[in-house]
Structure 1
Amino acid sequence: MKHAVNAAMAMLLAGLTLAGCEQRAEPEPVSQTAAFALPEAIANNAVAVADGPEGPTLYSFNGLKAGKSWKDTSNAAYACVIATESCKSIAPVPVPEGRLASAAVTVAGKIYIFGGYTVAANGDEVSTPDVFAFDPGTGRYEQQADMPTPVDDMLAVPYQDRFIYLISGWHDEGNVSSVQMFDTQTGTWTEATEFPGTPVFGHAGGIAGNSIIVTDGVAVIFADRKRKFVAAKLTWRGDIDPKNPTQITWRGVDAHAGPARYRMAAIGDEAGQRIIFAGGGDNPYNYDGIGYDGVPAKPSGGFFAYDLKTDQWQEFGRLAEPSMDHRGLAKAGREYYILGGMDENQNVTDRIVKFRISN
């Protein structure tokens, strides 16, 4: 679904790029490779944190195994108990062919797993509408109402411990601007205020309080009568009306410093009222880590945040290991966790990297 791209075409997005703003330094956080690892190497996996039978637990669902071919699309699921620093395989997601670019969000103690895409032997990629609720207590999956518009590589964020927004993303043949809102209490879908930015896939973001930040990703342009995929360095803030969660007031804000990043790990920090971003690739690529322009993507080793209180970016430091190809960042206590992904040689890894940020 995503064909070759000439890197020079990225210049066509220059008019869409917002200037980076001044970033203020923070104390160097602690970052390290964790003492435990996933049961096997996995990338492009959906991640979440929930209270499992043994306490706070990191969960991983679906993704891409080490072979990086269409046959390596996985439905595997893993649980990593933080207190014991141990990981194990659990019941797989009930989609036999596996999924890439799905998303996972925890609401009211359950983990909701959305969409993703399948890859056929001939290379065809299809966005899927499936939604499952995973109960950490029982280890069981319960199918939910399908997405109205099947998307993958979208941004998924929770709200009021009830709603989940799916923002933009890829649908079969192109990016969409829709913001789909799922009500976990009624099991129904509603359209929220449309995303006004350039539609993208592989973007990152999070929510804290009533505010969402969406940044970067890959846009579609047409040049020489051909479809091209280019990095989109854009950042948007969406402020939700708490009395009517379908209403979101969007506005463009300054982009972060440096180049756009693809498939960063990100999550909202409620206490700090900021959105944390880590890693990500420097060149848009398909699932094998090779850019659409034929140049292998390289992962970032940095992490930073958007401060919702000041509308400014904060630069933090360096990760213990650069990484890319993420579908979310997990947070438990004061620690942030990156589960799996790809390393600087585009190898899929079982590594878990954790870091801490000063408040």
Structure 2
Amino acid sequence: MKNRILVFFTLLYFFSNITAQTGWTWQELTPMPEKVSNNAVVEGFIGNDAFVYSFAGIDTTKLYSGINLGAYRYDVGNDVWTTLPDLPDTLGKIAAGVSRVGDKLYIIGGYHVLAGGGEVSSNKVHIFNITTNSYEPDGANIPVPIDDQVQCVYKDSLIYVITGWSNTANVPDVQIYDPALDEWSVGTPTPNDNYYKAFGASGVILGDTIFIMEA
């Protein structure tokens, strides 16, 4: 807990300095059609028009019954939300990841919460085409079902799915999805200890290096 508090105040100090130096300001825009958290969020462009997409998540009840498959698109230029068809799955889920490659969004993993409190990690890859504004058939299943993973894109080509939680435990797996071939391959795993395995971390690829930040 102390480490999390330290990280929070460090980030608060960082963003306060950035705001002071750049003159950036916060502005509240049109609210989403529903309040949601633990959703998968990504940006997408159609020509020069920018959009933000949200998939699945949990509503304000914070109950398993409030976990859903809802999807929305935000038009940045016009400050307008559109309700999209639900994710094509059988049960609501949270903690999925989403990445954009070209004009398609890949919504990967997440987990379902059952009425009795059990959790089941997802092995699904849902594909949303931002040009047609519709879902395509699911991609190949993830070899190791995963949620709360680090997910990042390499050169608009490969999606790296790194560590995360699989049903009952943190895993060190690095799974690599090739959207062009609809195939998964196995990457070098992280060290199998709690310094490297994570769930809820963030990551990015800069050049040929993956950077991961854990809270």
TM-score by length of 1: 0.52
The 8 Å contact of residues 53 and 136 in structure 1, kept in 2 or not, is answered as: no
Matched, 1:177 2:184: no
TM-score by length of 2: 0.86
Give 1:74 deviation, angstroms: 1.0
Q: Does the C-alpha gap of structure 1 residues 76 and 53 become closer, same or farther in structure 2, counting only changes over 3 Å? A: farther
Q: What RMSD, in angstroms, separates the aligned Cα atoms of the two structures?
A: 2.1
The 8 Å contact of residues 114 and 132 in structure 1, kept in 2 or not, is answered as: yes
Give 1:28 deviation, angstroms: 4.4
> Which amino acid in structure 2 is aligned with residue 204 of structure 1?
S
Q: Does the C-alpha gap of structure 1 residues 91 and 205 become closer, same or farther in structure 2, counting only changes over 3 Å? A: same
The 8 Å contact of residues 106 and 128 in structure 2, kept in 1 or not, is answered as: yes
Alignment partner of 2:34 out of 26, 36, 40? 40
1:67 aligns to what? 61
The 8 Å contact of residues 103 and 131 in structure 2, kept in 1 or not, is answered as: no
Give 1:212 deviation, angstroms: 1.6
2:87 aligns to what? 93
- Cα distance in 1, alignment partners of residues 114 and 55 from structure 2: 20
Alignment partner of 1:158 out of 141, 153, 156? 153
- Cα distance in 1, alignment partners of residues 101 and 42 from structure 2: 10
Alignment partner of 2:211 out of 187, 210, 213? 213
The gaps in structure 2 that reach 5 residues or longer are 4-9
Q: Does the C-alpha gap of structure 1 residues 74 and 209 become closer, same or farther in structure 2, counting only changes over 3 Å? A: same
1:245-285 superposed Cα distances (whole Å, 9 cap, x missing partner):
xxxxxxxxxxxxxxxx3xxxxxxxxxxxxxxxxxxxxxxxx
Give 1:96 deviation, angstroms: 3.2
1:195-210 mapped onto 2 (5 Å cutoff): 195-196=190-191, 197-210=195-208
2:7 aligns to what? none
Give 1:51 deviation, angstroms: 2.1
> Which amino acid in structure 1 is aligned with residue 90 of structure 2?
P
Alignment partner of 1:119 out of 113, 117, 129? 113
The 8 Å contact of residues 150 and 162 in structure 2, kept in 1 or not, is answered as: yes
The structure whose residues are more often helix, as a share, is 2
Partner of 1:33: helix, strand, or coil? Answer: coil
The gaps in structure 1 that reach 5 residues or longer are 1-6, 11-19, 217-260, 262-359
